[in-house]
Amino acid sequence: MQGEARGPSTQVAQRRARREHVTQHERYRVTLSVPWLVRGAHAVQDAINIAVSEVGTRVSKADTPHVDHCDIGIQMLSCTTCGTPMEAVLVVAETALVGLMLECTVSARSSEDAEQTSRRELGTAFDGTPLVPAGTVRADPHPEEE
C-alpha cells in the first residue's frame, strides 16, 4: 500500500449508486387523508394536538426509503349550508375523530407509483388505519438540483 491510487471507497460507490437510482425517479408530492381516533380528548384543540403528535411519531419511526419528508395538517371541511370552512374534528364523550392530511415527498417513476409507494411504506406504521390518496403532483426539485 505504497500510496498507490485506489478506486472510490465502498461508501462513496454506494452513495453514487443510490443517487443514480433516485435520479431515474421523479419526485412527487402525495397527499394522504388519514382518519385518527383520539381517546381522552376534552376539547377540539386537545384532540388535534394529540393526533398530530401521535401521527408524527409513527411517521418518524416508519421505514421509508422512498418517502423523504411528510408534513402533517388538519383536513378542512366546508359547511354544506353556508360554505364556512372548519377543521375536520369531532369530539364526543372525550373521544375524537380527527381528519389529518399527510403531504409527503416521494421518489417514484409515476404518480400512481408514488401513491402506492407512500401507502406501502407508511402503511406499516399505521396498521388498520386507512391511508387514502387525496392528490398527487410532481414536486419542484430541490434548489441545489436546479
Residue 134 lies in a domain: yes
38-62 residue pLDDT tens: 999 999 999 999 999 999 999 999 8
Residue 56: count other Cβ atoms within 10 Å of its Cβ: 15
H or E element: which one contains 78? Answer: strand 76-78
Q: Find the farthest-apart pair of alpha carbons in the chain and give their distance in angstroms, rounded.
A: 81
pLDDT tens-place string over residues 60-99: 998 889 998 899 999 999 999 999 999 999 999 999 999 9
Say what the pTM is. Answer: 0.76
pLDDT at position 141: 64
Question: Does 19 fall in a domain?
Answer: no
Q: Does residue 5 lie within any of the structural domains?
A: no
Count how many domains the chain has. 1
Nearest to 145 by CA among 48, 68, 51, 44: 68
Q: How confident is the model at residue 14 (pLDDT cuts 50, 70, 90)?
A: low
What would the DSSP string read from start to end of 98-119?
EEEEEEEEEEESSHHHHHHHHH
Q: What is the CATH number of the domain that holds 89?
A: 3.30.70
Residue 45 lies in domain = 26-139
Residue 13 covered by a domain = no
